[in-house]
Structure formats: structure tokens, C-alpha cells
Chain A
């Protein structure tokens, strides 16, 4: 189990502050936040590429706060993969083991084993520039995993892949984690990716952790307006408009039923998205989004009635 306690890191006027964060074993944990939120700094603190100004990082009961990177039992996969261009795939993967002074036969055995797991056993003699982007990433993952780390850190692992490959690699990463029962910490700014992959999400904003929990919990019961708006599509209207008292009320487009109900709004725009349609409406001067079946036939300019599932509505 990885625990961060009272960790503080300040640089260039930005402060990351983690009072307490626990990464349980065997989970796929996704750290999610907009750019500049401090999520990469969090990963680098765990990796040891940055030292915190205060607080401690504890891995399985061992304080690793001030250990050098290579003594921490963590594996890192960099966004750009960061393979050694002058070494073969085999030598890339073997590098961490060589520096642990393991005997040669054991190095060979472990490299070949991990290469099989990552399906690159036939690429071991090649150089990185001879591989595709996806293959390079697998080499980077193999290099991180070969030393059997307690935690695998992935820094925006899908951002350098094209859209089609991204879905494929997403599935691969999750399957790999399940197969090895590994503890994975995956950093991303893409909320869809985060929800699809994470057993546990850590939403971070402005250097502070907003909420930690499984994706369905964060989606349905966000503790803050930021989490509500960052995960999925959202509507936010003054509570008065829907007869719920003072303050603001938030609800998802799928909790809006178009066609009948107590409220009225004007259709501004229709988006046909295949399995469903998304409508943008003018509701007493506030723009809201509503989801409808693909057969819905409201026209731009129409005034439609609608209702909101009040049970799922959130107050802010």
C-alpha cells in the first residue's frame, strides 16, 4: 500500500498539497485533473523525480520520501516512452536489472518472460526507431515492469497514440493490470479515459485533491462543483428556476426528460450522435443540455416541455 501524508511541494508559485492519500494494492488508480492541476507533480513525487518540501511517502511500511529513484520499488512509463535510442529492445528492458547486478542468466530469463507478457518477444533484437509507437510503449512498460515494482506509474500513457489505437491500448492496460494483480497509478487529463479504466479515481485541481472514490460514486455523488463539472456533461441552474429553493442545482443531461413536464425551454441546437441526440436548450436565459433518443424530432426554435429527475439532482 502506498500512502502519502502531509506532502507539500511548491515551485514557481504553485503549491501541491496532499493531506492524505492511500493507494490500495492491486487497484487501477487514475489521477485525473486539468493541465496545471499538479497531477504530474504528484506522480513525480512518488517516483522520486521530485523531492517534497515536507511530508512523507510510505510504500508498504517503508518510508521512501528521500530514497533515490532506483531504490523505490516503483516502475515509471514516461509519456514519450524515453527509450534509449542506442540500445536494442533487449538491452532497454535489461537496463534496470543490470544495475542491480543480477547474474546474466537471470536477466535474460526475466527479460524474456516480460517480453512474452507484453507480446514483444519477437522484437528483442530491434532498435527503438524500428518499432511503431505502440510497440515502443510496450517496451517502455516492459522496462518498468521487469524489476517487479510494487507500483507502476503511467504518465499520460495514451496521449501519444491516435484515437483508434487509444481504445485498444486502454483495454490492454486494464487487462495487463488484472493479469499481474499490479498496483497502477495512471495520470491523465481525459475524464472518459479515467472513468473507463479506474477502479479508483483521484480528482485533483489547483494543487488540491478534490475527491477520491470509484468512478460511479464520483459521477453520481460529486462532493464539489469542480468534480461535478469535470466528469461528464453537466447542467447548472439557479435552484429557483426549478422550484428547489435557494442556491444552485446541478443535473446531468440524461436526467432531463424532454416532451412533457412542468418546465419549458426553447430548442437552440440539435446534435445527432448516433445512439442518442443531444439538445441544447434555452431555459429562462440559462443554457442546458438534454439527452433524447435518436428518434426524437424536436426542431430548432420549438418550445418544449421537460422534467428533471429531482432525486438525482445535486445542490451546490
Chain B
């Protein structure tokens, strides 16, 4: 049944997405062939920008080396850690999944900042690590710290994906394996690992995308270590952009888009694969089940890994200012002191207000537009597999790709450095996720409900508003969580489109639109040296998403299959 109202409902989301993603991707390619002159005019240089990157740019080899390191080390370490953790979860029960997922809900800037504060060789635990000889180089200026933060951020996703793959192995196949003499490690090699191999590959590609496009840890690390040391293509292209070299920035982004698209295509292939890796399980492999204690130990180590930086951050935020910068550093505060929070709220108020505004607005916009489009896509097959594939593609494409053309658009509309610039651009990062979550949610939705409403004389629009929306609450709750999370933790868009804090003297003009993630970066610089304030800001920034997480916990567990 083709019906204009079906298209009409999906149209706002689709028009928005196509206009604000296809245009920037195309415009990047064009811009990358130009150079912006000193006077601000664009001059045709052909492939000059690309040649500059690979042949002349003195930072070229460093940037490319770092990029490769981040995009290989992060997935390799994440997946290697995620497999034993997923096995422990399967043995001990999915209720442990929720605490392990916490890093995925902490704003990335906060996560990076917590690690840098903890590893600080003068005022953090790093002091003791260095003195004990466990750490030799200064972690602040090491690229491995960036990898560490990215592993911390991406491990939950890897664990979740691999755990779901292990759970999808039918119970009867596991019992058949027992009958055939496969148990313990031998069964793991012969049955579990091959059958979960599509998910392991998926996890690898997803975490590789995190590593390849990593930005926030470098933003925080650079504030501490100084420029260029940690840069990858993503961060370097942002630096080129903020220096006004739009052509060069666009060229770097085109290179990244090409590689990222390759990874995304691989991700989609792996996602729908019916292909399993085969492994030989020699008969000498033991059949004894690993003891439960070992699984508990794995879980305990992961929990420690997850909560160590957060715990350090909390302790720091409660120390009296005098105890924060002292050598050797104290671990526990001598007394609980809220000075840091007063400072964070005092200086950070305009930033926090702006973050709250944009997160609330964008969550609502995303949920509504996503539900309207996802329902028609799933239930009425609108757009077919191609549209679904494009949504998946957008999900794995980071927002960095859009900044140069969108900056020119936002500037052209005269809304630079206002709330409206963020309102216009934020759905690019949240809408694809929202559509994907609801698209899956609606697979279990009975379309006869809508048909009954039509039979009762409602129009399709009315049926959607009065019947479908009220029945989608749990799916919309989860889509809203992700929309809120991404909006709350966003860094690249506010960095690109704003340059002053929210002007509280004239609040209704909503001009000046920097968010708290920028505030954290500013406090992290060695000049500001406001480590107590930044710790308090970090704790405050983690509270709203964690509250939201606990509120929609049950619906999440349904989607994760952990219940």
C-alpha cells in the first residue's frame, strides 16, 4: 500500500539527512582542490593539497604513523580483552554487563581528562607508577595514552557485540558439542570462537573506527603535552581548519572519508555475514572447564579498569585545592571539600547551561524525526535496503567529516557561535543512530495495530500520533538515551561552530554557545592548572548521562539481550 502520508512522515528526517550529509561530503571533495589565500579567496591548486600531505608536509610521516597506530592498536587490544570478558559474562550472567558498559556513557572528553589526571607524573597516580619503575616515559606525551583512553572507551562496545555473538549460539549446539567430546577450551576453539567470529570481526571494525577517528583524547592530551606530538589525521585536519586552511583540511578529510568508508563497508559486510572462521581443535587441548574463580578474576580486573580513573577523578574533585598540586600526591583527601565544585559551577555555568539546552532540544528533535522515519522504513519498507545501508554508513562516519562545508553554511546563515548553529547541525550525529535503534525496535512491532486504527477511521498521520507513538515509548527511551549521550558529550561541532561562552547578560539571544566539553579542555591546559575545578566539572558532566542510563536500564537490557 503506497500512500503519500507514509512518505510525508519520513520526509523531514530524510531531507535533513540527505541535505546535510551528501552536500558536505561532495563539497569536501571540491574544496580539497583549492587553497585559501591569505586574503581569504579560494585558489585552484588541483591535487596540490594531497601532494603536500604525502610529500612535503614536515608533520606528514608523524601524522600518518600516529593514525595507523591508533587504528590498529585500539581494536587489537580491545578485542583481545573483550573475548575473555564476554566469556566471563556468559558464565557468570549478564547482570554484570551494566557496570562494564559505564565508559560508553561517560562523555569522551571527561574520560580522556580523567585518565590524563590520573596518569599525571607529578600530581597523579603516575607519580607512584614512575617511582616504582612501572612506567618509564612520561604518559602525558605518549601516544600510548591515547590508545589507552580509546581502549577504555571502546571496550564496552566490543564486549557487548562479542557477548551477544556468544549468546546467539544455540543451547542445543553446545549440548551436541558435549556429546561429541568437546568441552572447556577445546569447545571454545572448535565451536564458540568460530560461531562468534562474525561478531568478533564486527567488534574489531567498530573499535578500529573509534581508533581511526579518535579526537577527544588528543584534544585533552594536546592541552597538556603541547601541539603535534599526539596528532592523527582527524586532529590535524581540525587544526588546519581552525587555522583557516580550509582546502588542506578538506583534503585530509577526503582521505579519511575514503578510508572510513572502506571500514564502514567492511562493517556492513561483517554485520550481515553468514561466514564463519574455521579453527582446528586438536585433541590434545584440555576439556576441563576454566574454574569460575578465573572468570571472576577477569570480571574484577575489568571493573577495576573501568572504575579506577573515575574513582581517582571523584577523589580529586573532593580534595581541598591545596592538596591537588603537591608532590608526592595524596591519594585520599584529608577532608571533603566542595571548593572545586563551587569553582566548576561558577566558571562553568554558561557552558553547562548551553550543554543542557542543546542536549534537551536535540534529543527531542532526534526522537521525533527518527521515529517518524524508522517506522515507515521498517513497517512499510520505505527506501528498502539501500536506505538502511546509508543509515548504517552514516552511523560509522564521524562528525569531523562535515565541519568545513558546514562551517561555511553556518557562517552564511549568520548563526555562527549561537545555539541555532548547534541545533541545525547536531542531528547529523544523532539521527542515524536514532533511526537505526528504532528501526530495530519496530521489527517486533505489530503493524495491525496501525491498520486497526486506520479501519477505525483515523488518517495515517493521526494513527501515527495517537497509536504508534504512544506504543513506542520504550524504544524511544533508548533512542533518546543515545541522542542525549552524543549531544551531551559532543566536542567537534561546538569546537568548529562556536568561539565564546553563552552570554548570560543577554540570555534570550542564545549567542555564544561553547559547551562544557570545551570548558574542560580550557581548564586542562597547564596555564590554567585548574585540576580541581576540571575534576569537579568532569564528575558533574558524568552525572546526567548516568542518571539517564539507570532510568532506561530495563529497556537497554532488552536491546542488549542481557536480562
Contacts and interface: CB of A to CB of B under 8 A. Distances in A.
Interface of A: 47-49, 68-70, 74-76, 78-87, 95-96, 98-101, 129, 143-144
A129 B274 contact: yes
B181 A96 contact: yes
B424 interface: no
Contacts of B178: 48-49, 68-70
B172 A78 contact: yes
Contacts of A143: 176, 180
Given A87-B278, A99-B283, A129-B274, A82 B180 contact: no
Contacts of B181: 70, 95-96, 99-100
Given A78-B175, A82-B176, 15 more contacts: A49-B178, A68-B178, A69-B175, A70-B179, A74-B179, A84-B173, A86-B277, A86-B278, A95-B181, A96-B181, A99-B180, A100-B181, A100-B283, A143-B176, A144-B179
A96 B195 contact: no
Contacts of A47: 179
B322 interface: no
Contacts of B321: none
B176 A68 contact: no
Contacts of B186: 99
B37 to A, nearest CB: 59
Contacts of A96: 179-181
- Candidate in B172, B177, B179, B197 with the most chain A CB atoms within 10 angstroms: B179
B183 A68 contact: yes
Contacts of B182: 70, 95, 99
Interface in B161-220: 170, 172-173, 175-183, 186, 190-191, 194-195, 197
B176 A78 contact: yes
Contacts of A83: 173, 176
A79 B287 CA distance: 25
5 contacts: A68-B183, A68-B287, A84-B195, A85-B173, A85-B276
A41 to B, nearest CB: 14
B180 A80 contact: no
A101 B283 contact: yes
A274 to B, nearest CB: 37
A196 B180 CA distance: 30
A87 B276 CA distance: 9
A70 B180 contact: yes
A75 B180 CA distance: 9
A55 to B, nearest CB: 21
| 5 smallest beta-carbon distances between A and B, as pairs | A99-B181, A86-B276, A70-B181, A82-B172, A82-B176
A32 B398 CA distance: 60
A80 B170 contact: yes
Nearest to B193: A86
Interface residues of B: mostly helix, strand, loop or mixed? helix
Contacts, number: 70
B10 to A, nearest CB: 34
Given A82-B173, A86-B276, A76 B179 contact: yes
Contact of B176 (A74, A76, A99): A76
Nearest to A75: B179
B540 to A, nearest CB: 47
Interface of B: 170, 172-173, 175-183, 186, 190-191, 194-195, 197, 274, 276-278, 283, 287
A69 B169 CA distance: 19
Contact of A49 (B173, B175, B283): B175
B188 to A, nearest CB: 14
Given A70-B178, A101-B283, A82 B183 contact: no
Contacts of B175: 49, 69, 76, 78, 82
Given A69-B178, A99-B182, A85 B172 contact: no
A76 B287 CA distance: 20
B172 A79 contact: yes
Contacts of B277: 86
B194 A82 contact: no
Given A49-B175, A78-B172, A80-B172, A86 B180 contact: no
A160 B225 CA distance: 65
B273 to A, nearest CB: 12
A24 to B, nearest CB: 23
A141 B407 CA distance: 66
Contacts of A48: 178
A136 to B, nearest CB: 12
A144 B274 CA distance: 26
Nearest to A95: B180
Nearest to A69: B178
B172 to A, nearest CB: 4
B504 to A, nearest CB: 61
A100 B287 CA distance: 12
Contacts of A129: 274
A78 B179 CA distance: 11
A86 B278 CA distance: 7
Contacts of B190: 95
A86 B191 CA distance: 8
A157 to B, nearest CB: 13
Contacts of A74: 179
Contacts of B195: 84-86
Nearest to B283: A101
Contacts of A86: 194-195, 197, 276-278
Contact of B170 (A82, A87, A100): A82
A82 B283 CA distance: 21
Contacts of B172: 78-82
A79 B175 CA distance: 12
A49 B181 CA distance: 12
A101 B180 CA distance: 12
Nearest to B285: A99
B248 to A, nearest CB: 48
A44 B320 CA distance: 64
Of B178, B180, B182, B191, most A-chain CB atoms within 10 Å: B180
A205 B179 CA distance: 27
A49 B276 CA distance: 27
B429 to A, nearest CB: 37
B166 to A, nearest CB: 14
B179 to A, nearest CB: 5
